[in-house]
Structure 1
Amino acid sequence: MTNSNVYIYGIDLGKNCFHIIAMDKQGHILSRQKLTRSQMKKFVINTPPTTVCFEACPGSQYWGRMFADAGFEVKIIPAQFVKPYLKSNKNDFNDAAAIAEAGSRGSMRCVPLKTDEQLALQATHRVRQRFITERTAVVNQMRALLLEYGITVPVGRKVFERALPSILEDADNGLPDFMRALVFRLRERWQYLDVQIDEMSELLKQAAIASEQCKLISTVPGIGPIVSTALIAAVGSGNQFKRARDMSAWLGLVPKQYSTGGKSNLGSISKRGNTYLRTLVIQGAKALKIHMNREQSSLGKWIGRLEASHHHHVVLIALANKLIRICWKVLTSGREYQAYPSAV
């Protein structure tokens, strides 16, 4: 496509097939193309640079870097922002048209291109989380199998881990030998996953030590190597957010709003954005809330005042919100966190 009237391309990405819509400034469709993977690479090289848009999905970062290197302005749009522009029935060309329509809006929110470091951290976190999910499934299956023979264990993975040897060694608990062998096999799988999770955690700790940005936000209370690497993998420098509240809103830590007619209605937190990262931040806030010395900084005093009049869950979310705001300020300013001393 060499039409000089093309203002924007909308591309519906696939693994082997790509559907492209070319639009002018008035939103008129100039052409439709279906390309293979090899044809897509030639398209990047031979097409005059303009704006190109696609949904955030597996492969979008790869093609985004390729188009950016060729001089294109790249817009990677979250899928939920594309859907309102889909007209009529869903098919690949209609999806591409909706992507182009969404990308032509000046106020559209886009996903920035990630660096190689961010992609590596993101991949490590995803593999680690997969191992944790698999370990939870193994533990739950072991509990269910034992329950069929009347053997119950109190809640808690560590409690189960301590109780399991005595269960397997007890010859009088009614557990058949074949079931005992199955549970033992699952226990070996559990131990293997523990090793894998520890290795992934160690990789993230080493990455946090090597990254200047991770070291910077690790100075914030409640932010350790796991949270810092997850945060940098997701937001990078944080410059895509205009203010601290925007980053906490992106993470879903601000109240959900439904306001009309001048009446403001605020509900529970929106829980938008990255569920995994939000969970890690809340866990970090919980550990900080329990263990911090509240007499040494104004942050501790602030937590104490909130606890006097709010439920502890509300306090926890408020603290997580504040930590994310502090992280944004630390990242964008390039200065380490310095606690305000507690007022006398």
Structure 2
Amino acid sequence: MPGGGLYETRWRTNGDYRPKIVAYYYKQWDDFHMAFHTHDWTEFMYVLSGTCTVETPGGAMAMRKGDLILLDAGVSHKLIVGKDSPCRMLNVEFSFKPCDGIFPSMKQLADSDAGFAAFLARGLGTIVLRDSADVQQILKSLVLELDIVGAGVGKENMTNLLISQLLLRVARLTAEGAEDGPDRQIHRYVRIAAEYIHQHYDCDIQAKDIAAAVNLHPVYLQRIFKANMGVSLTEYLAELRVEKAKMLLARTDVPIIDIADYVGLNSRQYFSMLFKKMTGLSPAAYRKSQASIQAFSGEPEAGSTGS
């Protein structure tokens, strides 16, 4: 297995390589002082509970629940955990190996995602991400998949997809964290609000519910959301609901009478009015138009698996 860090150009220029998990584990640390050391691979350390300090030649970083630190290969570091504050962590360590038919490769990710390519070009040996709950979910899914008994291509495909997703997410969050001044926190609030909408559009949510999830006053959140997204919270939610309805109408056989409930609108009359306002067609006309397009193109009809 080739050694080397995350940013080595050979992973993107000398064939197709993908991440290879070296080690992964949960660990509860208590009154622990680690000596400085280095690895030949890259390491993620995620704080599940408690506090600790990770020290590198560049300085000491106080870590708390929800924090993630990335340490590239060759970065000298040590972990310090106090006697009165145990720290539980999830560690994932990885290097790289040839793809051998399992994709995406690092080259494919960098070629298809300008943000990821820019992240790799920066070559940051140490990255700290605060309150990275979304990263935690990917890490936990990755470790669970690794723990599944048995091997095979299916398992390797899944683990490669998960760690690729993790790297892309870290790259995006790192770019957001690099923004200067108050805009950095504002963009974080807007991102969390948008994520909440995408996760709860099927419920009867209002601006006050979204603001509560972000811990901001509704008026302030409305202002910064519209300034950054170009639409209000209500408009964004309505557009998302209509897009989801279009997908359900075109790709499934869910009855039109039920789709309003699927997208969080209790009033079927209001759903039809909103849908026609935003698309120019009634839900029934839209489904019919999509069926005609699918028939012409030879695609399977809504709710069909094809032959």
TM-score by length of 2: 0.30
Name the one with the larger helix percent: 1
Name the one with the larger strand percent: 2
The structure number with the bigger radius of gyration is 1
TM-score by length of 1: 0.28
Q: Which protein has greater RCO, CA pairs closer than 8 Å, 6+ apart?
A: 2
